[in-house]
Amino acid sequence: MNSKVTVSGFAARLQNGECSAAEMLQDVLARIADEAGQGGKVFTRVHAATALASAQASDTLRRAGMARSAIEGLPVSVKDLFDIAGETTLAGSVVLKERPAASADAEVVRRLRAAGAVIVGKTNMTEFAYSGLGINPHYGTPLNPWDRQLGRIPGGSSSGAAVSVADGMAIAGIGSDTGGSVRIPAALCGLAGFKPTARRVSTRGVLPLSTHLDSIGPIAPSVVCCAALDSVLAGADPAQLAPADLRGLRLVVPTTVVLNDMDAHVAQSFARALHKLAAAGAAITEMAVPAFARLASINAKGGFTAAEAWAWHREIIATAADCYDPRVVSRMLRGREMGAADFIDLLGARQAWIAEVAAATAGFDAMLMPTVPLVAPSVAELQASEEEYFRVNGLMLRNTTFINFLDGCALSIPCHDSGTAPVGLTIAAPAMHDARVLSIGLAAEALFPA
């Protein structure tokens, strides 16, 4: 299974009878079980029996001319914080193992099944989704497909989701994105990742990190794949995605914060991406967005994530703090210091900040920025140093976090030269401009055949 083949490409193979969904699944399961591969670290649970039953049912429906959607019969992975009936949702942790099993599938899992997706299993993640690096001390860390010899991070928190796609263990991985957890691993692993406007996709049955910031989106080989999956996740009628006309498109590059501390490869890749877009006719404006410089101070007490994570976890932490990843629980503990008045102030500050960013970027079709400013570092160097772990984590989350706080939508697509370290280009816009972002992404993607 080639991860660069799109949803439509795999669907065409099934439709033409080149293979069956059951045969496709068997190839996926063999990759997961390969001891020389990453399957043991990518998946926390593999649903071989139920997946095979789903694939066989899909084959029967397809033969009868009753394919339910564009993803009929295709293998899809889901992050380990989505409820699946009959299983305890672990969220990449060990502290919930004695909790009751879920009584029903999460809404997004239900929608995937109804569309004919074959749910392969649950993918590994940063514990409770609280890091952009993808390191997990409980279940191991799946390695980035680029430069496995060195052993680089996959990005997080949807680490297993990205590697499942990159290694051909799923056609797409469904993840959550609270501060970049879909887009960061997509960027570091050379894939497309889409964070929709949060309200468009139900979070029912999804273990929360921050209810004010959580959103659900796909990691997949292409923009078209992301759009097909997004329509299923959102319960929307599938629309035929057409590329935007790049000629005259008005794109803004914020120069405040997001261009700081880029390594040389990211800077060069981003500059080349802007050049290609401009050569294709897009009008690109570089402009300061002062509000971006203030977000760190707005979130100085930990923001929504620390406050809401602490509220959800405080009773468990009281008795089982030692069972958490110490680099995760330390961030949750910051929420203890945030009072009700602080939280109310944060709600008001967010609305004012959103209004200011919207006013500053009005008149532009989308924002452009590097998804992350660094190429993937090694797992070993981050495990060895507390200081380096938190420094790199802050940089990885920095740019993507702006869009979650904006309540916006964003797409990361690869923009690096073939054979070089993966780099993501972000195309972002305010809330409910999802279709426009995907359309621009489809046009831009054609310029970067990595």
Tell me the catalytic residues: 79, 157, 181
Crossing angle of helices 303-320/340-361, nearest 10°?
A: 150
Half-sphere exposure of 285 (CA within 13 A, CB side): 16
Of 375, 319, 297, 313, nearest in space to 130 by CA: 313
Crossing angle of helices 223-234/434-445, nearest 10°?
A: 160
Query: What type of residue is 174?
Result: I
Is residue 450 within 8 Å of 305, Cβ to Cβ?
no
Q: How far apart are the two ends of the chain, measured CA to CA in Å? A: 18
**Cα angle value 191/209/46 (rounded, 5°):** 55
Rg of the chain, C-alpha, whole Å: 21
